[in-house]
């Protein structure tokens, strides 16, 4: 198969995990008959605006729901971040989990770059390192027709991560995110298109969208982008949505053949 159908989910997650998961399930079930190959959920899809420690206590329930949804949809399901306990360190990772169409958890990528920044918005200070420890390595998933490189939100600003994933064979890059409204307006689209163009990959970017209980405002505009940098599908600035696009892997191969940038690197 040289074509895949991808779906990217956008939501505005609140404090109640069960309600957030039910909303995503409602959105996805409308596409159950469309034979979607890969689905990407936003960062913090299970809860945003409250204690990550509380979400960590429900990690097993979230994993069970992800497994069930992958089976119901018959799709690969990528979603993160979920707080996953590290028994060696005693703290949590912000983990992107991947399930196959049979409902098996195939991979877990731990977010490498933590969002410790000052933003000129109503929340102001973000410090993910208060809740999480950084991951140590990139993660790639072979879904049969393609290899998928995993990342989460703030990772988007570190191109070396994506180049590492491409060197390992990635042709699709996933970016579950909760990009803020301020930083999203400035950089979201340009960074996503740059990662697609420089790595000649499809990019599936699922963002949060709206105002959350802690006052955080997220940018929305979830996107599916081609290896040439074209926006194939885009969600609105606010509110829940599912965007769908066809990924033509033959076209990706042609882009890499006709513009063989990845073979021309000197460093």
Q: Among 211, 228, 138, 134, which Cα is nearest to 174's? A: 138
Q: Are 66 and 31 in contact (CB under 8 A)?
A: no
Report residue 65's pLDDT band, with 50, 70 and 90 as the boundaries: very high
Q: What is the DSSP letter of 184?
A: I
User: Which of 80, 131, 142, 89 lies closest to 109 in space, CA to CA?
Assistant: 80
The yes-or-no verdict on residue 1 having pLDDT over 80 is no
Number of other residues whose CB lies within 10 A of the CB of residue 162: 24
pLDDT digits (tens, 9 = 90+) for 105-156: 999 999 999 999 999 998 899 999 999 999 999 999 999 999 999 999 999 9
Q: What is the mean pLDDT of residues 21-44?
A: 98
Q: Which of 12, 96, 111, 139 is catalytic?
A: 111
Q: Smallest Cα–Cα separation from 218: which of 40, 21, 8, 42? A: 42
pLDDT category at 87 given cuts 50, 70, 90 is: confident
Q: How far apart are CA 121 and CA 249, in angstroms?
A: 40
Which is the catalytic residue, given 12, 44, 153, 201?
A: 153
For residues 98 and 106, the answer to whether their CB atoms sit within 8 Å is: yes
Rg (CA), the chain: 17
Provide the pairing of β-strand 38-41 with 241-248. unpaired
**Is the per-residue pLDDT at 68 higher than 80?**
yes
**What are 171-191's pLDDT values in tens digits?**
999 999 999 999 999 999 999
Residue among 37, 41, 39 nearest 21 (CA): 41
Say yes or no to pLDDT of 209 above 60.
Answer: yes
153 is catalytic: yes
Does residue 254 register a pLDDT over 70? Answer: yes
Q: Indicate the domain borders of the chain.
A: 3-259
* Cβ atoms of 203 and 175 closer than 8 Å: yes
Taking the C-alpha atoms of residue 218 and residue 177, their distance in angstroms, rounded to an integer, is 9
| CATH (one of 3.30.1330.40, 3.60.110.10, 3.20.20.150, 3.30.70.580) for 3-259 | 3.60.110.10
For the segment 38-47, what is each residue's pLDDT rounded down to a tens digit? 999 999 999 9
| 111 catalytic residue (yes or no) | yes
Average pLDDT of span 80-91: 89
Say what percent of the chain tops pLDDT 90: 95
């Amino acid at each position: 198969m040289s074509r895949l159908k991808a779906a990217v989910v956008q939501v505005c997650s609140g404090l109640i995990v069960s309600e957030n998961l039910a909303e995503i399930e409602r959105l996805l079930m409308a596409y159950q008959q469309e034979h979607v190959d890969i689905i990407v959920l936003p960062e913090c899809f299970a809860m945003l605006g409250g204690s990550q420690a509380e979400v960590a206590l429900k990690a097993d329930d979230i994993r069970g729901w992800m497994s069930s949804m992958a089976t119901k949809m018959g799709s690969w399901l990528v979603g993160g971040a979920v707080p996953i306990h590290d028994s060696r360190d005693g703290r949590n990772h912000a983990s992107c989990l991947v399930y196959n169409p049979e409902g098996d958890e195939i991979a877990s990528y731990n977010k490498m770059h933590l969002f410790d920044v000052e933003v000129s918005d109503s929340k102001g200070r973000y410090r993910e390192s208060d809740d999480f420890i950084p991951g140590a390595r990139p993660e790639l998933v072979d879904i049969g027709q393609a290899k998928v490189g995993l990342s989460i939100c703030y990772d988007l600003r570190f191109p070396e991560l994506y180049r590492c994933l491409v060197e390992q064979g990635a042709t699709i890059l996933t970016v579950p995110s909760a990009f803020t409204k301020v930083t999203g307006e400035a950089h979201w689209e340009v960074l996503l298109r740059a990662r697609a163009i420089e790595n000649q990959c499809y990019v599936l970017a699922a963002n949060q969208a709206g105002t959350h209980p802690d006052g955080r405002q997220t940018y929305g505009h979830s996107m599916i982008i081609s290896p040439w940098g074209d926006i194939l599908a885009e969600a609105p600035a606010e509110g829940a949505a599912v965007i769908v696009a066809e990924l033509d892997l033959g076209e990706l191969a042609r882009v890499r053949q006709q513009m063989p940038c990845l073979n021309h690197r000197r460093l």
